[in-house]
Each structure stands twice: as structure tokens, then as C-alpha cells.
Amino acid sequence: MNMKKTISILCLIIFCLCLTACDRSITNESNQSDRYETPKSVSMEQTNEGDSSETLTMIDLRLTVGNKVFSAKFYENQTTRTLVELLPLTIDMSELNGNEKYYYLSNKLPSASEQPGEIHAGDIMLYGDDCLVIFYKTFSSSYQYTRLGYVEDADSFSQAIGDGTTKVTFDLGRHEKNQGE
């Protein structure tokens, strides 16, 4: 009798551990904030109870492609602070691999490269220390990038970006709605 009770308790403990180890990746991937890992630059904020909690500081950005304006977010980090000093920036971004647009900046930026594994449509990253990249398709990659931010409406952005070289303007601020719709 004692053995059955011990086995039942052990099974219950194992079941509870399995439930807590479930991965969040099975949640709705269309939720933009869940699709992105928190970058290493996170600020700590004190709550009223004295507990500290992580909050992600973001910089509002506007990307213009043709006559459409897209809201985007930059993570608050050394790389984006340096890039923001160059804004507004209008550049002709070249096509690469049918999934990204890139542009080599004349200035080198500080970088904190990591291998993201999966890259999502809308991701804005830095390759090396001078290549600004915007991805418009989701795929896996073994390359290393510095995370800069993301376009909030990646699906519409992917449709607007088009083939070949594309003129893109980066500017500070938030635009509430896509123009030209």
C-alpha cells in the first residue's frame, strides 16, 4: 500500500514538472511581442512593492517605402542610439536572397552580434558593423546579427517592399496608420 502511494506521488510530481517545462513557442505567433526574444539591453523598473521587473525600452520609428509609412520599433541599445543620430536616413536598399533588403552604411556602428536562429519578417538587424538589413520573409539562419528592432506590421511591409532596389526612409516618431491605404 505504501509503495502505491509513493509511486502515485512521484508520478504527480513528474507530471507537474512537465507542465512547467512547456515551451511558449506554441502560443500564437502572430502576436508580434511574443515573436521576438528580449534583447540583452533591458532596463530594470521598480514597482510600488519594491520588486524589480524587466521592462523593455523601445524607440518609436517610422519607415517609409514608396507612399506607405510603417510603424517600427528599435530596441534601446548602444547600436540603435548611434544609428538614431544618423536619422532621418533615406537609402536605396538592395535585394538579397529573396528575403531581405540591405544597405552598407558609411559609418561603422557598435555591434553585439548573436546568432538569432530564426529570423522573422519585419526584423531589422545589423550584419557586421555597417550593413543595415530589413527582412521581409521568415526563415532560419546561421549568420550572426545585432538586433536593432522590427516593423510592427510585417505582412503589409513585406508586400510593399517589392523586388530589386527599394528606397526606404528611416525616421523617428510613430505613425498611427499606413498612408496610401
Q: What confidence tens digit (pLDDT) does each residue in 73-97 have? A: 999 999 999 999 999 999 999 999 9
Boundaries of domain holding 123: 58-172
- Take residue 179 and report the three cell numbers written for it: 498612408
Answer yes or no: are the C-beta atoms of 124 and 148 closer than 8 Å: yes
CA distance 112 to 55: 20
pTM: 0.67
Residue 7's pLDDT is 72
Residue 181: is its pLDDT beyond 80? no
Q: Does residue 13 lie in a domain region? A: no
Q: Work out how many domains the chain is built from and give that number.
A: 1
Helix (H) or strand (E) holding 53: strand 52-55
Higher-confidence position of 173 and 31? 173
Q: Does residue 29 lie in a domain region? A: no
Residue 82 sits in a domain whose CATH number is 2.40.100.20
Q: What confidence tens digit (pLDDT) does each residue in 111-158 have? A: 999 999 999 999 999 999 999 999 999 999 999 999 999 999 999 999
Q: Does residue 17 lie in a domain region? A: no
